[in-house]
Structure 1
Amino acid sequence: MTDPTPAIHCDQFLPHPPARVWQALTDPELHARWWVPGDIRPEVGHRFTLDLGPWGTQSCEVTRVDPERLLSYTFAEGVLDTTLTWRLTPEGTGTRLFLTHEGFDLDTPLGRQALDGMGRGWPAVLHRMSETI
């Protein structure tokens, strides 16, 4: 049996106040600029989809919201069944953004492949966010 809670942990300093970073995480138009299109809204229970292009449209549901501090949602329901949690912490004149992507099933080839690929990909996505917003 493998570790039941494998996760990706990233953090990125963004030279923007928490309100701006929050907007980038929760406004569909801004979200599409730095990551992928989707009809995200910061409301617990809101079900939405993210269009990951070659990886298909993925179903998600918002599970936790603390405006300008925390956003958590299920990701790729029925496929990966993982969770993304974004935590914002003010730092100087900017924001430290922490991402935890957890729940990968390492007992499946898809789970192992996703953990490896997303582990390499998330830092680039967060860097793009820093430059885009």
Structure 2
Amino acid sequence: MNDIPTDTRTVVVEREIAHRPEKIWRALTQPHLIQEWLMKNDFSPVVGHRFKLRGDWGGVLDCEVLIVDPNTTLSYTWNFTHDDPAFDLQSVVTFTLEPIRIGTRLRVEQAGFRPDQKRALGGAKAGWRDFFEKLEQILPQVD
């Protein structure tokens, strides 16, 4: 088994969104909405629930819900196993929702990138920005 280094890297992406935290929370926790902006899934907002995220690129992420604090914090593992161990990723994704005057400050933090995973770190930075763009596009249709 690989030892997980303690000197891991973290990606943080923040965005101010002109919708209330309750609406964004629904988009973060309802499977049919998660599929619209992130990936196909069998998510349930229950601590300990194990689920999979399935990318259009064919990859599957193994996840487990760690924190569910409605309209405030959602956290889950984001683990990817690859044929080449250099591409394996054991990480944790945490969403934080903060009410602000115009709506919500949404922050995502993905922690756990090894120092040798610079490409994955860069990909996550770009990926979360793209995911947030898609999230903002679907929010007007969320009840």
TM-score (norm 1): 0.89
Could you tell me which amino acid in structure 2 is paired with residue 131 of structure 1? Answer: Q
1:127 to 113, 126, 133: 133
Q: Mark the structure with the bigger radius of gyration.
A: 2
Q: Which runs of 5+ in 1 are unaligned?
A: none
Partner of 2:84: none
Partner of 2:69: 66
Could you tell me which amino acid in structure 2 is paired with residue 132 of structure 1? Answer: I
Partner of 2:97: 88
User: CA contact under 8 A between 1:12 and 1:127: conserved in structure 2?
Assistant: no
Q: Which stretch of the first structure deviates more once superposed, 2-11 or 18-27?
A: 2-11
1:53 to 53, 56, 59: 56
Deviating above 2 A after TM superposition, structure 1's stretches of 4 or more consecutive aligned residues are: none
Give the direction of change, closer, same or farther, for the CA distance of 1:77–1:57 in structure 2 (3 Å limit): closer
Query: How many positions carry a matched residue from both structures?
Result: 129
Give the direction of change, closer, same or farther, for the CA distance of 1:77–1:44 in structure 2 (3 Å limit): farther
Hey, what's the Cα distance between the residues in 2 that align with 1:27 and 1:52? Answer: 17
Secondary structure of 2:113's partner?
Answer: coil
1:118 to 124, 128, 139: 124
Q: Which stretch of the first structure deviates more once superposed, 77-86 or 67-76?
A: 77-86
Hey, what's the Cα distance between the residues in 1 that align with 2:18 and 2:44? Answer: 23
TM-score (norm 2): 0.83
Hey, what's the Cα distance between the residues in 1 that align with 2:80 and 2:49? Answer: 14
User: CA contact under 8 A between 2:60 and 2:80: conserved in structure 1?
Assistant: no
Q: Which runs of 5+ in 2 are unaligned?
A: 82-87
Alpha-carbon distance, 1:5 to partner: 2.7
Q: Is 2:45 the counterpart of 1:39?
A: no
1:23 to 23, 26, 44: 26
Alpha-carbon distance, 1:128 to partner: 1.7
| Identical-residue share of aligned pairs (%) | 35
